[in-house]
Amino acid sequence: MSRFSPAQVVERTGFSLDTLRYYERIGLLDGIARTPGGQRVFSDDDIAWLGILRCLRDTGMPIAQMQRYADLCRDDTTMAERLALLEEHDREVQRRIDELQAQRVHLAGKMDYYRSLDTRSATA
Amino acid sequence: MSRFSPAQVVERTGFSLDTLRYYERIGLLDGIARTPGGQRVFSDDDIAWLGILRCLRDTGMPIAQMQRYADLCRDDTTMAERLALLEEHDREVQRRIDELQAQRVHLAGKMDYYRSLDTRSATA
DNA sequence: CAACAGCCTGGAGTGCGCTCCAGGTCAAGG
DNA sequence: CCTTGACCTGGAGCGCACTCCAGGCTGTTG
């Protein structure tokens, strides 16, 4: 059970210190320990939770939904709801991937067009 | 060479009227025809260009980069630069897809965990 | 030719997710 | 001890990409 200073957490999670404070303020982080003087001390569990937040954030989950998930995680009778939330989010991510891939096809067409012009001028 | 009213363009492109006006204001749209009274009239070419903007926007290109691309498209000696811009963007999109797919693996692990708990309670 | 939906402009406002700031406190090294 | 860099709080500010608004003109329809 290691303990981490704010600076160490910044380094490990990639979140800025301001973002960590912001997340605590809005309830995404909760029960973060403090030194007698009031400075934050993060545990392994906190780091792990931040990893989950990063995964959700990086897959485009809005803050409001992360708050909903965080709330569910404070009540241990909500496993089914947490699963449902993650499943819905996962479908959302898959839709996003599909859309990006579909649009890449259009990009490829456009690029081919420019390459065909390039070839002409290069061989002229 | 059809001509479209703003409302028709909204329907065909999915951009809101305000967004179309905004895009014109910031130079993403340019040379849009007007009636004698000053109302916009869109051509097939305009619709096609809006399709390109939608593709770029939906793949996450920032407005500033779309402006750069729009500028390049006003100068017909910039094919190589346009291609380079699109290629860089395409790599960006591919990176985004890769990241989403990597994070989906984590999501899947988390969901499996919740499902394993669910099974226990369902069979109890 | 009157009505009325649609469109115009410039500019202000919105929502999201941070990010920065002022003014102070804390804690580890010398 | 004393310094000094890390950290604290509450609150304001920012960048992005729109979105909305007031007040007024347009143009098709009956």
Domain ranges of chain B: 1-62, 75-124
**Structure tokens belonging to residue A75:** 């009540």
B122 or B90: which leads in pLDDT: B90
The predicted structure's pLDDT at residue A34: 98
| Chain B residues inside the 8 Å CB shell of A72 | none
List all residues 6 or more positions away from A23 whose beta carbon is below 8 Å from its beta carbon. A15, A29, A53
Q: Which nucleotides of D are covered by protein (CB under 7 A)?
A: 6-10, 16-21, 25-27
In a structure prediction context, what are the per-residue pLDDT tens digits for chain A, which is 124 residues long? Answer: 799 999 999 999 999 999 999 999 999 999 999 999 999 999 999 999 999 999 999 999 999 999 999 999 999 999 999 999 999 999 999 999 999 999 999 999 999 999 998 665 555 4
Contact (Cβ atoms closer than 8 angstroms) between residue A93 and residue B104: yes
Does any CB of chain B come closer than 8 Å to the CB of residue A111? yes
Question: Which nucleotide minimizes the distance between its C1' and the CA of A6?
Answer: D7
Question: How far A5 CA sits from the closest chain B CA (Å)?
Answer: 26
Q: Quick check: B118 pLDDT over 70?
A: no
- Helical residues (DSSP H) of chain A, grouped into ranges: 6-13, 17-25, 44-58, 63-73, 79-123
Q: Convert the pLDDT of each residue in B20-30 to its tens digit.
A: 999 999 999 99
Q: Who has greater pLDDT, B118 or A78?
A: A78
Using one digit for the tens of pLDDT, what is the confidence trace for B11-48? 999 999 999 999 999 999 999 999 999 999 999 999 99
Scored b (16 or more CB within 10 A) or e, A87-112 reads eebbeebeebbeebeebbebbeebbe
More confident residue, A117 or B52: B52
State whether residue B48 sits within 8 Å of chain A by CB.
no
Q: Which residues pair with B24 in a beta bridge?
A: none
Rounded-to-integer distance, Cα A105 and Cα A100, Å: 9
The pLDDT, as a whole number, for residue A117 is 84
User: What pLDDT sits at residue A1?
Assistant: 74
| pLDDT given for residue B1 in this prediction | 75
How high is the pLDDT of residue A118? 61
Q: Cα(B87)–Cα(A115) distance, rounded to whole angstroms? A: 11
What pLDDT shows up at residue A64?
98
To the nearest whole Å, the CA of B92 is away from the closest chain A CA by 11
Q: Is the domain B1-62 a CATH 2.30.110.10 member?
A: no
CA distance B15 to B21: 10
Q: Is B86's CB within 8 Å of A55's CB?
A: no
- pLDDT digits over B63-103, tens only? 999 999 999 999 999 999 999 999 999 999 999 999 999 99
**Fold entry, domain A1-74:** Multidrug-efflux Transporter Regulator; Chain: A; Domain 2 (1.10.1660)
